A and B are shown apart, each in its own frame.
Chain A
């Protein structure tokens, strides 16, 4: 068995006095597609955001691609550098897209490589155009985000994250803010990404996607993993009543 690319041990996170993550423990293999489901407030978004330190956990251990996350450590210059290093190997796609409105699409895509990785402009633009073509947005490269539809914005956001050549992609409810007819185009891109072997953690309610693309489904409840397993197992014969109830609600 290969070395896991993500190891999460007993992850704990409080928001003020609210315990949002109550000891999450799991592993992710390279190339695995893990779909995380759960009720709102169950901690799924927080879990994802702890992995790239957008949220600071209060306890536990996380290993990302061989590097240990500096949980609970004082943010010295060295620690900050370490966090940046880890972040550059992970890409994140947000529910609200979060494209930079004052930059064109191609400028959005090259922002990461040029500013963070100090890649030359020409090389970054060439790679960026390739990526935009791959997500089907080449013609829109000089447009601005507010000229794009929701589905196009999200595909652009995926291209922007991929431009950093991450080893892991985090998706935080990528289609929840989209009109139904626009969801498909984003899921198709995500499926193609999975087929290329990207390690993906996806928080979503799109159970069709989960069944088709996920290698494993993780059901989060009250900040803990209640159960996890293959899509067939979780969706067709889950162990827990709560899981079954939840699935009935989102079908």
Chain B
């Protein structure tokens, strides 16, 4: 039954194409079902949450009335966090280079700094600054004090991040730079640090998102950020739960926003490389 262009082969070709399409449709279907299931889980969690909140007997009109006042703290929170992370980056760069240096002063000072600051709670450091600086004759207004406290604290943690990023750059890069006749500074600036940033930037993004919440502690220095305002209104009106929930909601929203930005930044940085995605088997 053979004609020209063997028909059995043509039909086989169609079969292969059809099976491939079937597989693609099947995969799409499974993904849609998964998304629906996850959404149901979230809806369930929200329902449970709302029930719990209902049991708290919240005064929603009160919450609505003071939301604008509390919301004004969001700007200050973000401002303080950005300021502090920037200063922390500078401290971290100095710290990391010192940690890797053979100079005893630099090495000794940086290891001590990292150990002390990572070994004490942030809240304790904030209170030491609050109570201690005036005794040394240093009077700072609230926001600078807050930024300093957060930078010093995060600088210690980020020193290790920067150090890890630098040490992840392959040794051959350093050797190539030196054989061309570069100085240590030229090598770090032009060869090592640009490559270290691939690790440092995503990690710093994570630190920033953490700092958004840690910034709440500078309320104790008198900064009128998000948590401070929530506390103020809450205590004045004996309605702490309401105001804290509002503050919590704002922190959450800001975090989600910046996590989205960070995701986009990471995708941009990963251009031209292949990332590990979830494989469960």
Decide if B179 is an interface residue (CB 8 Å cutoff): yes
**Given A98-B172, A98-B175, are A111 and B180 also a contact pair (CB < 8 Å)?**
yes
Q: How far is the CA of A52 from the CA of B272 in the complex (A)?
A: 35
Q: B179, A52: Cβ atoms under 8 Å?
A: yes
Chain B residues with a Cβ closer than 8 Å to the other chain, count: 17
Q: Which of A156-173 contact B (CB under 8 A)?
A: 157, 160-161, 164
Q: B269 to nearest A CB, angstroms?
A: 11
> Is the C-beta of A174 less than 8 angstroms from some C-beta in chain B?
no
Whether A54 lies near B175 (C-beta < 8 A) is: yes
Known contacts A100-B191, A101-B195, A164 near B176 by CB under 8 Å: no
Residue of B nearest to A164 (CB): B180
B69 an interface residue at 8 Å Cβ cutoff? Answer: no
**Interface hit among B90-98, B182-190, B232-240:** B182-190
Tally of chain A residues near chain B (CB < 8 A)? 28
Bitwise interface map of A from 60 to 85 toward B, beta carbon under 8 Å scored 1, else 0: 00000000000000000000100011
The residue of chain B having its C-beta at the shortest distance from the C-beta of A54 within the complex is B175
Which of B172, B175, B181, B191 has most A Cβ within 10 Å?
B181
Q: For residues 69 through 114 of chain A, which have their beta carbon under 8 Å from a beta carbon of chain B? A: 80, 84-85, 87-88, 90-92, 94, 96, 98-102, 111-112
* A-B pairs with lowest CB-CB distance, top 5: A98-B176, A88-B181, A112-B180, A98-B172, A92-B179
Name A residues whose Cβ lies closer than 8 Å to a Cβ of B.
Answer: 52, 54, 80, 84-85, 87-88, 90-92, 94, 96, 98-102, 111-112, 115-117, 144, 146, 157, 160-161, 164
The 24 listed contacts between A and B (C-beta, < 8 Å) are A52-B179, A54-B175, A54-B178, A80-B183, A85-B181, A87-B180, A88-B180, A88-B181, A90-B179, A92-B175, A96-B172, A98-B170, A98-B172, A98-B173, A112-B181, A116-B180, A116-B181, A116-B182, A116-B186, A144-B272, A146-B272, A160-B180, A161-B179, A164-B181
